[in-house]
């Protein structure tokens, strides 16, 4: 099996990425030579692989490069990668929902989250409106000032003194 994928020498981003990929894969087995550019290093390391090893390496590199480009495009569209753990039963339920909706997992999750958020937002809005309506309907009892509270207390004491209903 011959893989036709190649590193594009004019694509600097691809060359840098391939160097990092190969170095992570082979480490010090293939050290970089003095004054060797990214493309030269990559082609040397790849060409030292023989037969199926070379084909598998190129196939894996092609898949990894395609994934990198896809993720970059998605991020430009405002999407971000997420990684989290779900219980087996929750994942099974998510699969059932996905099948039921006829959508992908990420579209199903986005729909559920966005719809739940909108419902929650509407509920909070209605609760706030109810609160404001109750405030308007309730009779307004103004808070007494400090001076008014003292006067009420003094009036009470005067009545007690007038009635002789006080203690020494």
Neighbours of 15 (CB within 10 A): 20
Spatial separation of the C-alpha atoms in residues 57 and 45, rounded to whole Å = 10
* Domain assignment present for 2: no
* Domain assignment present for 36: yes
Which pLDDT score is estimated for 145?
84
* Domain assignment present for 161: no
Residues 106-129 have a mean pLDDT of 93
CB neighbour list of residue 17: distance below 8 Å, 6 or more residues apart: 65, 68
Residues 28-43 have a mean pLDDT of 87
pLDDT at position 147 over 70: yes
Same domain? For 22 and 66 the reply is yes
Question: In the chain, how many domains are there?
Answer: 2
Q: How far is CA 101 from the centre of its chain?
A: 23
Full domain range(s) for residue 128? 95-137
pLDDT band with cut points at 50, 70 and 90 for residue 116: very high
Same domain? For 22 and 71 the reply is yes
Spatial separation of the C-alpha atoms in residues 71 and 67, rounded to whole Å = 6
Which pLDDT score is estimated for 168?
52
Spatial separation of the C-alpha atoms in residues 108 and 91, rounded to whole Å = 12
Q: How far is CA 26 from the centre of its chain?
A: 34
Same domain? For 68 and 106 the reply is no
Q: pLDDT tens digit string along 46-62?
A: 999 998 999 999 999 99
Which pLDDT score is estimated for 1?
47
Same domain? For 60 and 20 the reply is yes
Q: What global pTM score does this model have?
A: 0.57
Which pLDDT score is estimated for 85?
94
Question: Closest by alpha carbon to 18, among 29, 6, 30, 28?
Answer: 6
Angle at 31 between CA 28 and CA 35, to 5 degrees: 160
* Domain assignment present for 167: no
pLDDT at position 155 over 60: yes
Q: Which residue has the tokens 């594009």?
A: 8
Between these two residues, 132 and 63, which has the higher pLDDT value? 63
Spatial separation of the C-alpha atoms in residues 168 and 165, rounded to whole Å = 10
């Amino acid at each position: 099996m011959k893989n036709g994928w190649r590193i594009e020498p004019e694509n600097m981003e691809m060359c840098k990425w391939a160097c990092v990929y190969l170095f992570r894969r082979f480490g010090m087995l293939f050290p970089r030579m003095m004054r060797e550019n990214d493309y030269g290093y990559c082609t040397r390391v790849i060409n030292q692989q023989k037969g199926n090893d070379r084909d598998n390496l190129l196939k894996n590199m092609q898949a990894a490069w395609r994934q990198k480009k896809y993720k970059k495009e998605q991020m430009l569209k405002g999407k971000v990668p997420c990684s989290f753990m779900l219980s087996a039963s929750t994942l099974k339920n998510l699969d059932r929902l996905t099948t039921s909706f006829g959508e992908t997992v990420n579209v199903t999750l986005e729909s559920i989250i966005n719809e739940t958020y909108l419902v929650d937002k509407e509920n909070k809005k209605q609760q706030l409106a109810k609160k404001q309506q109750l405030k308007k309907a309730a009779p307004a009892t103004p808070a007494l000032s400090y001076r008014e509270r003292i006067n009420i207390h003094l009036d009470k004491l005067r009545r007690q003194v007038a009635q002789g209903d006080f203690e020494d």
